[in-house]
Structures are given as C-alpha cells and as structure tokens.
Amino acid sequence: MGWDALSLVDAADDRPPIERRAVVRGDFLELQARTVIERVPPAAGIAQRWAVSPYRGCAHACRGCGARAGHRKLGLDEGRDFDTRIVVRPNVAERLRAELARWDGQELAVGLGGDCYQAAEETYRLMPGVIAALAAAGTPFTVYTKGAAVLRDAAPLARAGARVAVSIAFVDERIRRAVEPGAPPAQARLELVSALVEAGVDCRVVMAPVLPLLSDAADQLSATVRRIASAGARRVEPVVLRLPAGTRAWYLRWLAQAHPQLVERYEELYDRAGLPSPGYEGRITGQIEQLCRVYGMECGAPPAERREPRAAQLALV
Ligand code: SF4
C-alpha cells in the first residue's frame, strides 16, 4: 500500500485513516507499509528524485519543513500533528530490500518525510537496517538529518560510501528556538559535522532553509558560512525556504504572529507553487557561493549518483 492510498479505507469510521491502519503506541503510529521508495517532488530543491523515509512527521518541528503535506494525506494535520504524531514504518528495511532488488541504481535520499535520526530512532532503531539494505544493494544514498544520533551509524555509513547532509541554515539561537524548536542547537550540529568528518563520512552542510528577511542578512550568512568552515565541512548547499501546500499556511500563521510586518513581503516573494522569486533565490545563492570561495569550500549540491546495481555487477562477473 502506498501512503497516498490510506484515505480510501472505511468511510464510516471517523478516526483519521492512519489510526484505522496503524498500531498506536503513545505518539507513535506504527504502520506496515507495502512500498517505501517514494518520488521526491521537484520543488523540494534537492538532487535526488527518489527517497525512503523510516518516519513520517518530525519532532524537530521546523516551521518551514516541506514534508508537512504528507500528514494531511494520512488524515492528520500538517501542523501540530506533524510535530507530535510520528508515523513509523517498522518494516521499512524489509520492504526496501525487496524494492532494491529491482532498483536501477539511482541515488536515494533518506529521511525527507521526517528526520531519520529524530528521537523516535532511539526507540525503533530502523536506520541500521536501512543502511544495511542500501549497502547490500550497492545503491548510493544521501542521509538528510539534524540529529546527532547519526554518529552511532558513522562506521556503516562510511563503509557504504553514503553521503550525509547536515542542515544548518543559521547560527542565531533566537531564530532556531522560534522556527526549529525541537531541533538541536546549531552549535551541536556544527560539532556533529566535525565528528562525522573525523569519522571519515562524506559530510556536507545544507544551509536549509534560508529564511527570507529573517536569516538572510549579509552578516548572518557570513557568520553561518564561517562557522561551517571552522567545523571542517568542505561543501555547503544553499536552499532558500520553500512554501509548498501544507507548509505555507503553517509557516505564515506563525509569521503573522511573530513578524506581522513581513507577511505582505512574503506574499510578494513567493509564487503559487510556494517557490521564492528566482531573482531573490539567485541573489542569496550567489552571496553564499562567494562566501564559500572565501572560506575554501565548494558550493552547491553534488550531482546525484548512479551506480550499477550489485545484482547486475555480479551478473557481469
Ligand atoms: S528536521 Fe527536517 S524533516 Fe524534521 S521538521 Fe525539520 S526540516 Fe522537517
């Protein structure tokens, strides 16, 4: 069963569709999924076209998280439910192994539907199985995370040749507390980058999301890139905030309370699809590229990888 099919069941039952299918354990909703490799919306702004997520929803509770619409499809809301009701796929590794047996070797993103190293991972420990499945299939992958728990898996990630992208969009703690209230502080993530580099993991920093008019001033960008360079990162990937359906209303509701004077300017800056104006995005990306040159780092996402699937490699021997 794909995640999108959940809304089709038992119309007479007024519980959210997910609760009719899942085993509910506190804030966790355990759901046995039939398929786990999902298409990445082009507007996500990342290089990979396909993704696998052990969790849907995220306790890091980032206001501008682009994955919020997924909860609405499950009959939950994209605001507080996304932050507090985490959908867990206990069989993710098993299903992933089955799907990878027919995979064409394209790179997968891991953890877009919810951070794969959020607190739920301490309970469920799904990532070792996911990494093992991807490594066995020889599939390239990038793990997207803000969670220090990724360090637990540094050795298997390094052996698998995985990429890890740690999100650090700004280093101002006041902003972090307002827009990423459940995520670790920037300093903890900078230390995580240093530790991953030290452990031999191919690690970059995703400056995502740069928040228009809140974290995009020249001195803010400069301070952030400088500290990322000091942490030992060799590449920075800038991503300006996107406001797709499901994210837009939640973010703008907060903005109207916290910074009402900015709402109109956001309405002007974003199109109906939730993308920032190309002129604005190009200016911010250009500033970060220039800062990366100053600090000796590469800028931008590396191209998505493609490796010959392991089964095909064996067939050639
Ligand atoms: S850590 Fe990532 S997945 Fe989690 S809420 Fe923030 S942006 Fe979304």
Starting at the edge strand that comes first in sequence, how are the strands of the sheet with 108-110 ordered? 37-39, 50-52, 108-110, 141-145, 163-167, 202-210, 235-240, 298-299
The DSSP code sequence of 18-57 is HHHHSEEETTEEE---S--EEEPPGGG--S-SEEE-SEES
pLDDT of amino acid 311: 60
User: Which residue has the least CA distance to atom 6 on ligand 1?
Assistant: 62
- Number of neighbours of residue 267 by Cβ within 10 angstroms: 9
pLDDT of amino acid 19: 73
Residues with CB under 6 A from ligand 1: 58, 60-62, 65, 67, 114-115, 146, 183
Of the residues 80, 112, 146, 177, which should be mutated to test ligand 1's pocket, given the most ligand atoms within 8 Å of the CB?
146
Ligand 1 centroid vs 58 CA: distance in angstroms?
A: 6
d(CA 269, CA 235): 28
Ligand 1 centroid vs 145 CA: distance in angstroms?
A: 8
pLDDT of amino acid 262: 98
User: Which residue has the least CA distance to atom 3 on ligand 1?
Assistant: 114
pLDDT of amino acid 9: 43
Which atom from ligand 1 is nearest to the alpha carbon of 208?
7
Structure tokens belonging to residue 169: 């969009």
Ligand 1 centroid vs 118 CA: distance in angstroms?
A: 9
Ligand 1 centroid vs 65 CA: distance in angstroms?
A: 5
Which atom from ligand 1 is nearest to the alpha carbon of 209?
7
Which atom from ligand 1 is nearest to the alpha carbon of 112?
3
- 267 φ, ψ (degrees, to nearest 5): -60, -35
Which segments in the chain show pLDDT lower than 50?
1-10, 316-317
CA 1 to chain CA mean position, Å: 23
In the chain, which ranges are E strands?
23-25, 28-30, 37-39, 50-52, 55-56, 86-88, 108-110, 141-145, 163-167, 202-210, 235-240, 298-299
pLDDT of amino acid 144: 98
User: How does strand 50-52 pair with strand 37-39?
Assistant: antiparallel
User: Which residue has the least CA distance to atom 8 on ligand 1?
Assistant: 65
pLDDT of amino acid 309: 75
The residues pairing with 163 across neighbouring beta strands, listed in sequence order, are 142, 202
> What would be the CATH architecture of the domain defined by 3-316?
Alpha-Beta Horseshoe (3.80)
pLDDT of amino acid 65: 96
